[in-house]
Amino acid sequence: MNHKGFFLNILLERRWIWAFMALFIAGFSCICRGCNPPPPPVNTPAVTPPPVASEPPSTEPPEFTFTLQRQAQEVLMGAMRPLSPVTSDNPQPFPEGYLLNTNSVGEALLEGDVEGKLCHIYVFFNTWLQKKACPESTYIGSNASCLEEGSAVYRECSNHLVTTGSGEFQMLGTWASATYFPQQRASIFVVLQGEAVVRSIANIDTHEFAPEEVVLTSGQFLYTAPDDWLKPIPFLEPRQPHSLERLPALLPAFDVLPYFEKIGGLAGGDGLYFPPPDLLTGPPDLVIHLEATDWLQEDLAVVKENPDFVYVPVYAIINNQGGQPAEIFKVSMEGTAGDGTFLRTFIVPGQESSFYPFTFDPLPPGGQVVFRGLVGFPSNLTGQNATLVATVDSCAGEEFFEEGCRVREQNEDNNLSNPLDALLSPISFSQ
């Protein structure tokens, strides 16, 4: 065999080896893949992503920007406890949700633009206040604050909602105060100017409100607490509006006098009246107010028994705005008509005298007594206009009496009522 044949045989042998190896690899690959051919390529059309919708306009209520100014040391503030001391008397930002605390001598002023007016929140000593509604409240707006403890005055804070552990105080006016005692779960709300709506919390666990809202007007206050915590004050109904003359009744139940002193100081600076501490804690002081009222069915018997008189039905409301009980006293009534000014009969059911109704017991601090009766004029004055004025702690008709009559009062010059105008007309019931 020549050289060409030799090398040709070797080449053929190598080709056979390579072919054998290729078949072996293909078979092994087929076993691994299960001898399934790969799927044909799929032409997937390109997907265009949907356009991104623009964000709808926010329906969140606007946040109110407030500043804090230290009025007296020590004041602390911050987003969460522990709070940081306020080291400057200059105004500084007080963001929504921030917490403010004053110590036994600290005071602070929060100011912010609320509905186009500058809202002032005067925060007194020993007070915790947060610039948002209390956690239990369902209110989620920004025009709210949570009074956790202590007392504050709110001036020009239109529609501001004050929340406490026992109520909500929605201000519709221009000058009000709120005080909260967490250990008693008791709130005291006062309005000196404008109006406010109070919702009392009846159940502290479920945050269920009492069924009725109460509207406070200028010169009125209210105290409230949840049902399980409510300790009614004698002669002072809770969750009802009362005149400022009855504030002394709160003092035995709450340590509120130091706050009242602060409230009164601010009120006086704004030309508003708030009872001073010496009045609230001093000797008795009786004041009386006359209001007209409607005829009652039982008035018909009095009219029939006295055909020579024409009567005016009235309420005589007497309050003891002093800090001590007022001893038993009487009330007299004068009336001015076409015949002149004279002492008039004042017939009150249950009273022996037809001229002078008496109290039966001493009137406590902040106590109130109401005489509902008929003031009589000669029947020949029927159709005329008349003016009535009542006197509390009166000595009318008495020949001998001491100065000041029966009750030694702080002020003996405020015992006359407001004048009440009335038309002398016959009773309107059919007889």
Tokens of 236: 């002072």
Given this model, what pLDDT does residue 66 score? 94
Sign of the C-alpha dihedral, residues 352, 353, 359, 361?
Answer: negative
Given this model, what pLDDT does residue 173 score? 75
**Beta-bridge partners for 175:** 155, 193
How many of the other CB atoms lie within 10 Å of CB of 80? 8
CA distance linking residue 129 with residue 94, whole number of Å: 12
Residues 236, 256 contacting (CB under 8 angstroms): no
CA distance linking residue 375 with residue 357, whole number of Å: 12
Residue ranges of domains in the chain, CATH in brackets: 66-277 (2.60.120.1440), 286-423 (2.60.40.10)
Sign of the C-alpha dihedral, residues 16, 20, 21, 23?
Answer: positive
Tokens of 140: 């989620």
Stretches where the chain sits below pLDDT 70 are: 1-64, 429-431
Residues 71, 107 contacting (CB under 8 angstroms): yes
Rg (CA), the chain: 41
Q: What is the arrangement of strands in the sheet containing 309-320, beginning at the earlier edge strand?
A: 286-292, 309-320, 368-378, 346-347
Burial class (CB in 10 A: 0-12, 13-18, 19+), 407: buried
Instruction: State how far the alpha carbon of 370 is from the alpha carbons of 66, 153, 289, 301, 332, in Å.
Output: 46, 32, 10, 21, 13
Q: Which of 117, 152, 116 is nearest to 131 (CA)?
A: 152
CA distance linking residue 125 with residue 122, whole number of Å: 10
How far from chain centre, in Å, is Cα 383?
45
How far from chain centre, in Å, is Cα 327?
35
Q: Which of 139, 220, 238, 231 is nearest to 183 (CA)?
A: 231
Instruction: State how far the alpha carbon of 379 is from the alpha carbons of 154, 160, 382, 383, 411, in Å.
Output: 53, 54, 5, 9, 37
CA distance linking residue 84 with residue 101, whole number of Å: 10
Residues 241, 216 contacting (CB under 8 angstroms): yes
- Between strands 340-343 and 346-347, the pairing is unpaired
Contacts of 387 (CB under 8 A, 6+ apart): 335, 336, 337, 419, 420, 421, 422
